[in-house]
Amino acid sequence: MKYKLLFFFIFVSLLATRNGFAQSGEVRVSGKVTDAKGAEIPGANVSLVGTTSGVITDVEGKFSLNVPGSQSVLRVSFIGYKTAEMTVGNRTQFDFTLEEDSKTLDQLVVVGYGTQKKKDLTGAVSSVSSGDLNLGGATSNVAQAFQGRAAGVQVSQSNSAPGGSTVVRIRGGNSISSTNEPLYVVDGFPSETGKDINPNDIEDIQILKDASATAIYGARGANGVVIITTKRGKAGKPTVVFDSYYGVQKVSSSYEKMTGLQAMDITNAKNAERGLPPTYTPTDLKSGINNDWFKLATRNASVQSYSLTASGGNEDTRVALSLNYFSQDGALKNTDYDRYSVRLNADKQFSKRFKVGANVYGAHTFSLFKNYDGSIVPSNVMYGILSASPAVPSYNADGSYARFQGRDNPLAWLLAPTNDRFGNKININAFAEYQITDDLTFKVNAGTEYNGFKEGTYLPRDLVDGEKVKGRATVQDNASTRNLVEGYFTYIKTFGQHSINAIAGVSTQDDKTEDHFTAVQNFSSDVFLYNNLGAGTERVTSTSNKINTKIASAYGRINYGFKDKYLATFTIRRDGSSRFGENNRYGYFPSGSLAWRVGDEEFVKNLNLFSDLKVRASYGVTGNDRIGDYAYMTTFSPVNLTLDGDNSYGGVAATRLPNPDLKWESTGQLDIGVDLAFASGRISATFDYYHKKTNDLLMNIPIGDWQGFSSQIVNAGAIQNNGLELSINTQNVSKGNFRWKTAFNIAYNKQKVMDLGGRPYIITTTANPYGGRAVDFTKLEPGRELSSFFGYVYDGVIKTGETYTPQKGAPAGSPKYADVNGDGTINANDRAYLGNANPHYTYGIGNEFRYKNFDLNIFLQGALDYSLYNANALILESGYGTSALNRWTPTNENTDIPRDGYATTSFGGYINSRFVEDASYLRCKMITLGYNLPFGPKSKVNVRLYGTVQNLFTITGYTGTDPEVNTKAANGGTSASSINLASGLDYTAFPSYRSYTLGLKVNF
């Protein structure tokens, strides 16, 4: 509430300020803005050159404003059209016809350390403007906002919990052990948490994909670079926008579970089959306990957002302020995510040659979190919800949580523990730019970023585990700071037919991260939660750690153009990093590219076919420096022993061997692309082919024990990714009051591991839903892709009287597996590759319709040709899902479901083809319908009402709840290698949901 008041106060203050800008003029002029075909253009900006005053055209394209005199110049601009100007003179009526500039070739694109005209780009860059982002609803981070919007940029919402995680892969994954997430650069500042800024602050996003574009980020460029530019103040009329929406998230998945009575019956039946007495007595069977845990655990949850942005200024000084409160309750009870954020961007032109600017961003987040890591501990609440019997009671008569056989029910685990997570992020980044000559500019960027989180948990006595230890509290504090200083020269000059745009500069960065963790138990009372650790009399653990990473770099880029048709770019960056071993302290990352604007050649122009045609080719080398801090050093750790039998003695022993050669993973990438446009730019397309080969993969290779260790981190191994990308933008209809635009993109990627540093294969295991030892889940061998499932081939159930020799002695009702190697018995050698978790195709289709005051956006996205392992189905089928009712029994022979799961037989295993399913899908990610209230041309206020539906429908053959789920990536603590090697597990994920929101946007 406090915050809402604060927002209101700021809002009122801004309104008051705005009145100060108001001006009165001498002449009132009016007019209309249309396009070449005579269609009105609403929302075009009409301003007076040299002043800050201006208006926006109404829905009929009409405007009127006061001008100070006849010398005044009216300027009309609108995105996608060329700007037009007219001197007022004696006239009072002006009709502007804007020429379409739909290809926006002169549009500036932010590339690393500078901007370039889009037409001069020689590399592969995808642009997503704020208007094309998936904003609203439950969208809480940047990656969700650009999901499906750029070809070759695969985003999956691996965990749909509030504030949940996303996985982003640009042109496939290059690494096995290290992260494959791209680098985020926000307003020139490389930010570890750039993905988590308020997505409503974004003006546009450039996604750098090929080596020509990413080489300027050298050792951090290999996974691609997402350059985010936030909204800045513009000269002209100040604008104040208040945007709010409220909505509800409805759970869209469910798990079919049996009734309490059925559960008791099946438990007793299975007992009888094993020769055990029944668990439930005839009295129990009449108890009527029937808990639908999923229903009890979920709710229709609200999502809301309030934001206020104010921006404005003049030619000298421009300011943009944005305030936002976003709050999402979880569809699962006792989960939520709240964010308060503030951004202030300011620019000041001190003189013709000197300007400064600053960006300040601060955010505070709070969430109630749960664990969705796919383990079988009861704190993994979805495991409990899926596996618990409906016959387990929920509450006692006194309202306390009921226990069953000495254990807590899943609802108690969902509701009783406290799991709070607080996040704080501050980024302050300033620049000063001095134009030394007309051609040469020097710019300094300096900034600091603080990113911290605190997790406080408390396990109360309501739970058996809490009772045992008399309450346990943990507190984890983590704080990262980054300091960055960069300076670079920009030289732009045209000599006759030659043009040069060059930059050269240096950069240093220093990161420090500290972490503290304390766990305490034995509290006299549950009231303190984690807020009084001293009250717990038993310290369980207390640890701390601090690390430092430093990077120092020099970089340069030269773009050369001849006749504006023949373009070349050469880039090089030299990165020195504290992470690299002494023998490889510096890496050089060069790239070169060529482009030919074929469309500007006379012979093509004469064809009158293309309005634009450019071919590009680039090759370069970039790196992945996320190889771990201090990893090249030999390190020593304390050990404890006794040398007299009574007392403890301290020792220090080596924990790792030195590797002074340790360095970045290195990706060489070739890209060939074509940009083209037809029909006066109404149809444009971009096509790219790429081939990436990554060498020096970070690998833990086995070494001889005589070295004192059994494995060592080295740069070995190679992986390659090949792909195709196509994006098409069309303006289908632009007639009268109706407009229809379509944006489509699709990408194909194929990965192939070339070498595992001499290791024959890498097996990755996953938690066993039955308990016990983790079993093999994926296998990586040269020639294969990451996350390839490896297990048995399921062949139904052994029927009564059937003799299946490879499973000698297996009773009827046992799962049957194919004898893959034909040796007459089923053992580990009968496992085969069952599918792969990396989508080979990803695509997005956006359609935008406008009719009069209405606008409609429909965005679909999806992925094709990949599989998931549906472990939830396994839990349900082996437990209390309705599917288990169809299990094999002597009276139910005709079924595929074994009598009692996959763990009671010595043959085969539960990682088998039965649960590997094609997960290809098409999803209606977002539909937004908006309506601008017809307040008339004189109104100073513009009001828009809109409604958004997210995840309206998903077309898929996948029987699990959500084809985007990735359990291994669902928890922040999961290692990068585990995400890379064992994606594709759908296990105990947060419930998927559909969100419906209604919004109101007011422009002043």
Partner 1 sequence: MKYISILSLLMLCLTVSCESLIEPKVYSILTDANAFQSKDDAIAAVNAAYSRLKQPSGSNDSWMYYAGFQVTITDLTTDVGHASSGGDVGLMSNANWGPSNTYLAYAWQHQYKLVSDVNNALYYIPKIEALTEKEQAQFLGELKFLRSLGYYDLTNAFGAVPLMTEDSVAKNIQSPAYEARVPVTEISQINAKIISDLEYAAANLPLNYTSSTVYKTNDVGRATKGSALALLCKLYMREKQWQKVADITQQIMDLKQYALYPSYSQLFAESNKWCSENIFSALSNNLLDATEMMNHFGPLNNTEVTDRWQYFGIPWRFWNTFEKNDERREMFFYDYVGTDGLRYVQPPAGVINPPAGFYYLPDVASKKYADPKGSTTYLDGHVFPIIRYADILMCRAEALNELNGPNAESIQLINQVKARSKATLLGAAGTFTKDGLRDQILTERGWEFFFECKRREDLIRMGKYQSMVNTYLTAIGQPARIDINKHRYFPYPQAQVDLNPNLSNSDRQ
Positions in the binding site for partner 1 (CB under 8 A)? 436-437, 440, 487, 489, 491, 504-506, 508, 544-552, 554, 576-579, 583, 585-586, 629-630, 633-654, 657-661, 701-710, 712, 714, 758
Complex with partner 1: residue 654 or 955, whichever CB lies closer: 654
CB of 96 to partner 1, least distance (A): 43
Complex with partner 1: residue 442 or 841, whichever CB lies closer: 442
**C-alpha to C-alpha distance for 218 and 224, rounded to whole angstroms:** 11
Complex with partner 1: residue 362 or 581, whichever CB lies closer: 581
DSSP 8-state code for residue 941: -
Complex with partner 1: residue 533 or 552, whichever CB lies closer: 552
**109 token code pair:** 């694109």
CB of 639 to partner 1, least distance (A): 3
Complex with partner 1: residue 370 or 579, whichever CB lies closer: 579
**C-alpha to C-alpha distance for 293 and 255, rounded to whole angstroms:** 10
Strand 711-715 relative to strand 698-702, pairing: antiparallel
Complex with partner 1: residue 241 or 657, whichever CB lies closer: 657
**C-alpha to C-alpha distance for 442 and 910, rounded to whole angstroms:** 63
CB of 771 to partner 1, least distance (A): 20
CB of 507 to partner 1, least distance (A): 9
CB of 241 to partner 1, least distance (A): 42
CB of 460 to partner 1, least distance (A): 29
CB of 717 to partner 1, least distance (A): 13
Complex with partner 1: residue 209 or 443, whichever CB lies closer: 443
CB of 215 to partner 1, least distance (A): 18
Complex with partner 1: residue 120 or 625, whichever CB lies closer: 625
Complex with partner 1: residue 402 or 554, whichever CB lies closer: 554
Of 472, 454, 452, 453, nearest to 462 by C-alpha is 472
Beta bridge partners of 307: 243, 324
Q: For residue 804, how far is the Cα from the chain centroid?
A: 48
CB of 285 to partner 1, least distance (A): 34
CB of 556 to partner 1, least distance (A): 9
CB of 505 to partner 1, least distance (A): 8
Question: Which SS3 state, helix, strand or coil, does residue 14 take?
Answer: helix
**C-alpha to C-alpha distance for 715 and 701, rounded to whole angstroms:** 9
Could you tell me if 259 and 287 are in contact, meaning their C-beta atoms sit under 8 angstroms apart? no
**697 token code pair:** 């993969």
Residue whose token pair is 């001069």? 120
**C-alpha to C-alpha distance for 846 and 861, rounded to whole angstroms:** 8
DSSP secondary structure string for all residues of 545-571: EEEEEEEEEEEEEEEEEETTTEEEEEE
Give the sign of the dihedral formed by CA 753, CA 759, CA 762, CA 763.
Answer: positive
Complex with partner 1: residue 28 or 493, whichever CB lies closer: 493
* Amino acid (one-letter) located at 632: Y
Of 742, 747, 750, nearest to 720 by C-alpha is 750
**C-alpha to C-alpha distance for 268 and 262, rounded to whole angstroms:** 10
CA distances from 776 to 274, 826, 910 (A): 28, 16, 10
Q: List the 27-35 sheet strands across, edge first.
A: 62-67, 27-35, 93-98
**377 token code pair:** 């501990």
Question: Which SS3 state, helix, strand or coil, does residue 503 take?
Answer: strand
Complex with partner 1: residue 1 or 652, whichever CB lies closer: 652
CB of 2 to partner 1, least distance (A): 38
DSSP secondary structure string for all residues of 268-304: HHHHHHTTPPPSS-HHHHTS-----HHHHHB--EEEE
| b/e sequence 404-422, b meaning 16+ C-beta within 10 Å | eeebbbbbbbbebbbbbbe
CB of 914 to partner 1, least distance (A): 31
CB of 469 to partner 1, least distance (A): 19
**C-alpha to C-alpha distance for 419 and 332, rounded to whole angstroms:** 14
DSSP secondary structure string for all residues of 354-388: EEEEEEEEEEEEEEE----SS--STTSHHHHHHHS
CB of 490 to partner 1, least distance (A): 11
**C-alpha to C-alpha distance for 168 and 157, rounded to whole angstroms:** 9
Alpha helices in 713-780 (DSSP H): none
CA distances from 506 to 18, 208, 447 (A): 41, 20, 15
Complex with partner 1: residue 556 or 862, whichever CB lies closer: 556
Instruction: List phi, psi (to 5°) of 511.
Output: -115, 140
Complex with partner 1: residue 460 or 505, whichever CB lies closer: 505
**270 token code pair:** 């299975």
Give the sign of the dihedral formed by CA 930, CA 934, CA 936, CA 939.
Answer: negative
Question: Which SS3 state, helix, strand or coil, does residue 893 take?
Answer: coil
Number of helices (H) and strands (E), helices first, in the chain? Answer: 12, 54
Complex with partner 1: residue 524 or 634, whichever CB lies closer: 634
Complex with partner 1: residue 461 or 574, whichever CB lies closer: 574
CB of 715 to partner 1, least distance (A): 12
Complex with partner 1: residue 551 or 911, whichever CB lies closer: 551
Could you tell me if 229 and 201 are in contact, meaning their C-beta atoms sit under 8 angstroms apart? no
CB of 972 to partner 1, least distance (A): 21
Could you tell me if 688 and 141 are in contact, meaning their C-beta atoms sit under 8 angstroms apart? no
CB of 906 to partner 1, least distance (A): 15
Complex with partner 1: residue 69 or 704, whichever CB lies closer: 704
Complex with partner 1: residue 200 or 549, whichever CB lies closer: 549
**C-alpha to C-alpha distance for 899 and 889, rounded to whole angstroms:** 6
* Amino acid (one-letter) located at 669: Q
Of 220, 211, 121, nearest to 180 by C-alpha is 220
Could you tell me if 406 and 464 are in contact, meaning their C-beta atoms sit under 8 angstroms apart? yes
